[in-house]
Amino acid sequence: MALFAGRIGLLAEKMSISETQPTDQAWPSRVAILGVGLLGGSVAKSLRRYSPRLQLVAWARDESKQERLRALGLFDDVRISITDAVQDCDVVVVASPVDRIAELVRQAVAASPANCLVTDVGSTKLGIVEALENDPQSREKFVAAHPIAGSERSGVEHSSSDLFDEKWIVITPGQSTRRSWVEKAAAFWQLTGGKTREMTPKDHDTHLAAISHVPHLVSALIAKVAPPDARPLVGSGWMDITRVAAGDPEMWAAICQENRKAISYELQRVRQEFDHLQKLVDNQQDEALRDWLSDAQQIKKHSP
Amino acid sequence: MALFAGRIGLLAEKMSISETQPTDQAWPSRVAILGVGLLGGSVAKSLRRYSPRLQLVAWARDESKQERLRALGLFDDVRISITDAVQDCDVVVVASPVDRIAELVRQAVAASPANCLVTDVGSTKLGIVEALENDPQSREKFVAAHPIAGSERSGVEHSSSDLFDEKWIVITPGQSTRRSWVEKAAAFWQLTGGKTREMTPKDHDTHLAAISHVPHLVSALIAKVAPPDARPLVGSGWMDITRVAAGDPEMWAAICQENRKAISYELQRVRQEFDHLQKLVDNQQDEALRDWLSDAQQIKKHSP
């Protein structure tokens, strides 16, 4: 926690919620999820744990998805129209791929009640927040969020009620987001079992490029370069390093598109370190290589 | 398996063992482990499963290690002298870091009975096999092996009886290793629960550089470049990608030293792919990036 001091504002885990905010489980009483995959499904399942009376609404783009969602038995209502889905809701969660979030938020904001919080789960934040800051209605009702939880598996069938338990959920308000709505968003996200933290969209995107987006690309790269005739021999190390490479290419390509600048910068930083590593190996600097490995080991051992 | 056809000779899992080989659990009756860490300890524990009568001997370099090994209760005998440890043994397993294996094999070969198999667990093979091919006695009795199993944790306290179960154990004979001794080595290693496979030392080192040694270095690199103020936010993806970065720096530096040429070549290959990736991101080739991610996903999904 101390590492964040100065750069990142913190929301205490147990926030003192201002008097205008709901404090009991009567709120929210109706939540819509727009885009029910791994994350959207897990939001619904985690909320369901705290209140069997909570009304959960799903939005599905087409009839076949609508039927699949109905068959799940998780939602009280499944709608094809966004306007229908968000009606009478206290909270709307947009859980689509990042390149469609801003547009869906705009539609949800326009169609939902005045006091309805609209939030999202996007892995990138700056582009989304900047796009919506220009929209007067969205500025009022949208608070951006990113639960740092996921899986290489996608789809609602892999969602789970404990996906967010004890995980960080980063709240990234825009410059004009009202304080009370930031707190409302934090209170909502804490209902999923996660811990909330506040950060600027830019800091979020820079940090996530370094610890999520670029590591993901490197994991895919390690899978990609494995020679076909060596692959049958892979051990548990390779399996773990490449686990996330099984993730959805559409989703990750969209993340790279949205967070291109920070990812590009971070790739350059990795490349510099890579060149340094290559020199240590090629120049037989074996003691320096051992120290380099030792540094990495210490960082790893002191990570959460 | 088909991927290996042509390049890599296979030992059938259930080999027909030649008549000069022991076929019942009377062999081996006494096994010495030189260097009892994660791997040496796991060899002992896995062998113990199939025969409580098997005599297991440990070699420890100093008195304090000797005491720790005695306290384990796993070994029938713990010796400080290699000559004492290998006496009357049917098999000696050298399980030290790779840069000390050749010398320990030489000592074990010289001091052990004429019919004693000497084998090892080293993650690199070419340097060890070449060094020992020049020694007439070692040529007779040493058959190199590499069980592809391990953990980021080291030390006998993390060893386990099932570490090798269903894992590949690669046997890498030298040019003058006798056929019957290769089969003897395979029969021995199968007693640990692993599956054996034969390969040239050179092919082994090339393959392992690609699927183990360089992925390990890249995992350490990803840990190393994580900015301090972003580290508290790492998710499960980063945790898995960097798992092996917690491994022993001494051990991995020795592997890089022993397999420098193959690792250097493989680092260059990774670097080329890395440059290609950077271009896809920087030049906004988003469709090509999605296809690139998709390729990686397919390789990962079709891996063991």
Residue of B73 and A22 predicted with greater confidence: B73
Nearest to B30 by CA among B78, B90, B85, B79: B90
Helices A286-301 and A260-282: crossing angle in degrees, nearest 10, is 140
The rounded percent of chain A whose pLDDT value lies above 70 is: 92
From the CA of B266, how many Å to the nearest CA of chain A? 9
B270 touches chain A (CB under 8 A): yes
List CB contacts of B191: < 8 A, sequence separation 6 or more. B46, B47, B50
Q: How far apart are CA A122 and CA A102, in angstroms?
A: 10
CB atoms within 10 A of CB B190: 18
Q: How far apart are CA B267 and CA A210, in angstroms?
A: 21
Tokens encoding B77: 């005998």
| First-residue to last-residue Cα distance in chain A | 11
Pairing of strands B30-34, B55-59: parallel
Per-residue model confidence (pLDDT) at position A8: 35
**pLDDT per residue over A269-289, tens digit each?**
999 999 999 999 999 999 999
List CB contacts of A73: < 8 A, sequence separation 6 or more. none
| pLDDT category of residue A129 using cuts at 50, 70 and 90 | very high
ipTM confidence: 0.88
Give the domain ranges of chain A: 2-199, 204-301
Q: How far apart are CA A30 and CA A188, in angstroms?
A: 12
pTM exceeds cut of 0.90: no
**pLDDT per residue over A29-78, tens digit each?**
999 999 999 999 999 999 999 888 999 999 998 899 999 999 999 999 99
Q: Do A151 and B236 touch (CB under 8 A)?
A: yes
| pLDDT category of residue A25 using cuts at 50, 70 and 90 | low
Q: How far apart are CA B11 and CA B25, in angstroms?
A: 20
User: Contacts of residue B219 in chain A, CB cutoff 8 Å?
Assistant: 237, 241
Tokens encoding A65: 């998805």
Q: How far apart are CA A295 and CA A210, in angstroms?
A: 17
Per-residue model confidence (pLDDT) at position B17: 36
Per-residue model confidence (pLDDT) at position A291: 98
Instruction: Please check the confidence at residue A126 and state whether its pLDDT lies above 90.
Output: yes
| Lowest mean pLDDT, pick from A18-22, A92-96, B126-130, B297-301 | A18-22
**pLDDT per residue over A137-194, tens digit each?**
999 999 999 999 988 899 999 999 999 999 999 999 999 999 999 999 999 999 999 9
A260 touches chain B (CB under 8 A): yes
Nearest to A273 by CA among A289, A297, A256: A289
In this complex, which of A277, A287, A297 lies closest to B221 when CB atoms are compared?
A277
**pLDDT per residue over A200-256, tens digit each?**
999 999 999 999 999 999 999 999 999 999 999 999 999 999 999 999 999 999 999
Instruction: Give the CA radius of gyration of chain B.
Output: 21
Of A7, A213, A214, A233, which to mutate for an interface test with B (greatest number of B Cβ within 10 Å)? A233
Per-residue model confidence (pLDDT) at position B25: 65
The domain made up of B204-301 has a fold known as: 6-phosphogluconate dehydrogenase C-terminal fold (1.10.3660)
Per-residue model confidence (pLDDT) at position B12: 36
Q: Do B220 and A3 touch (CB under 8 A)?
A: no
Per-residue model confidence (pLDDT) at position B19: 34
CATH 3.40.50.10310 fits A2-199, yes or no: no
Q: Which residues of chain B have pLDDT under 70?
A: 1-25
Per-residue model confidence (pLDDT) at position A13: 36
Nearest to A130 by CA among A261, A34, A33, A6: A261
